[in-house]
Structure 1
Amino acid sequence: MIDHSLLRPELTRPEVLAGLATAREYATASVCVRPADVALAVAGLRGSGVAVGTVVGFPHGGATTATKERETAELVALGAAEIDMVIDVGRLRDGDVAYVEEQVAAVVVAADGRPVKVILENWYLSDEQKVAGCAASERAGAAYVKTSTGFAGGGATAADIALMRRSVSPSMGVKAAGGVRTLDALLTLRDLGATRFGATTTAAMLDDLARRLASRDG
């Protein structure tokens, strides 16, 4: 359920490679890397079963639809298997839901069958806007709605996960990202309906899980 996140702007190539090794060791669902690291991640994770994801319009979402389409197509060509796109947050706050839906739909087409996770950046949104963003994303064919980039003022909250889960159909995923740093936090959000998690503390959380399972079985 974890997308191991390698998105910090200061990461060096050795640090990215170390992150890829962590994802391989712990058999995460995916890594989520910066666009410039997609080729490196594809090569580094070949044969591991760990998918390579990346971001589009990140972190602010203000690029044009054509730019997001081109970015998506390029990253797919490089081997990206999942796309996390940031919506135009200002347009959603304006009430221009049609624009948001059309942009998500364009990225879904450019992703050519690969899952698209739509980052709403909830920190800036009212509950009404979050619900509208969820509905637009589902109508546009996205696979997931996602709480945040991790670069705004706040990340995933229990209230937001519960709201997003109620706002989409059971077939759509909900991704919690930003501030999910402990196993207990992850489990709480899972129980509220999150189905995927963006995390940087992957090893610590899964080591904690292993200790708990060993103690229970012992």
Structure 2
Amino acid sequence: MTNDFIFSHVDHTLLKATAAWQDICALCEEAERYHMASVCVPSSFVKKIREHFPSLTICTVVGFPLGNCSTAAKTVEAAEAIRDGADEIDMVIHIGALKEGNLSYVTGEIKAVKETIGDHILKVIVETCYLTEEEKIAACRCVTEGGADYIKTSTGFGSAGAVLSDVKLFRKNVGEKVKIKAAGGIHSKQEMEDFLNAGASRIGASGAIPALLGKG
């Protein structure tokens, strides 16, 4: 795979608590320079990014990183992000609800956020490091039935990130219209190629530039 092809599938990500505007600005300039799929940033920066980088695709996170806030909080957060200019929403499911088998709750909150954002892209983070295989398959059903556009492996803040076996499992169990985003702990060109070959359509990464070009 060429570097340009890989970059076009990368959500260039900066979600650290210490991120300041100068850091976000540098991220956006890099995303424009290398024609990345999007920037993935905290919602507080969305409006300013839209003003300063009008051509960028902006992704932001909702219910991040734990996912255990209320459905109402997630919908309000998503609605405000869209008003501020976000194009895509990456929401974290209520992991505890999934683990206790309350699949109707998980599906319901996905539906609620998708209805809130309409035609904008919704990616659903299921945090695979905390799930059994059975729970991962259940998450695939919830994401599909909830009408989301993507299932996403990880926040990058859990105990582990993306693994190839989970992407392959997702590919077998999500609906045919649901795409896959692999994120968390992806640091090399080979890993990016492997995830894309396994069926991922997006890669969430903060280090794509050094991984592909060997520089910051």
Question: TM-score, with normalisation over the residues of structure 1?
Answer: 0.92
**2:65 aligned partner, one-letter code:** P
Supply the distance in 2 between the matched residues of 1:45 and 1:180 (Cα, whole angstroms). Answer: 26
Among residues 43, 46, 57, which one is paired with 1:38 in the alignment? 46
CA contact under 8 A between 1:57 and 1:85: conserved in structure 2? yes
**1:175 aligned partner, one-letter code:** K
Among residues 100, 110, 127, which one is paired with 2:106 in the alignment? 100
Percent identical across equivalent pairs? 37
Among residues 199, 206, 209, which one is paired with 1:203 in the alignment? 209
Supply the distance in 2 between the matched residues of 1:158 and 1:197 (Cα, whole angstroms). Answer: 12
Give the CA deviation at 1:13.
Answer: 1.2
1:1-218 correspondence to structure 2 within 5 Å: 1-47=9-55, 50-207=56-213
For the residue of structure 1 that corresponds to 2:61, the secondary structure is strand
CA contact under 8 A between 1:20 and 1:44: conserved in structure 2? no
Post-superposition, which runs of at least 4 consecutive aligned residues in structure 1 deviate over 4 A? none
Q: Let me know the Cα RMSD of the aligned residues.
A: 1.0
Query: 5+ residue gaps in structure 2?
Result: 1-8
Supply the distance in 2 between the matched residues of 1:150 and 1:88 (Cα, whole angstroms). Answer: 16
For the residue of structure 2 that corresponds to 1:60, the secondary structure is coil
Query: 5+ residue gaps in structure 1?
Result: 209-218
CA contact under 8 A between 1:92 and 1:133: conserved in structure 2? yes
Give the CA deviation at 1:6.
Answer: 1.3
CA contact under 8 A between 1:53 and 1:84: conserved in structure 2? yes
Supply the distance in 1 between the matched residues of 2:29 and 2:63 (Cα, whole angstroms). Answer: 26
**2:165 aligned partner, one-letter code:** A
Supply the distance in 1 between the matched residues of 2:121 and 2:37 (Cα, whole angstroms). Answer: 13
Question: TM-score, with normalisation over the residues of structure 2?
Answer: 0.93
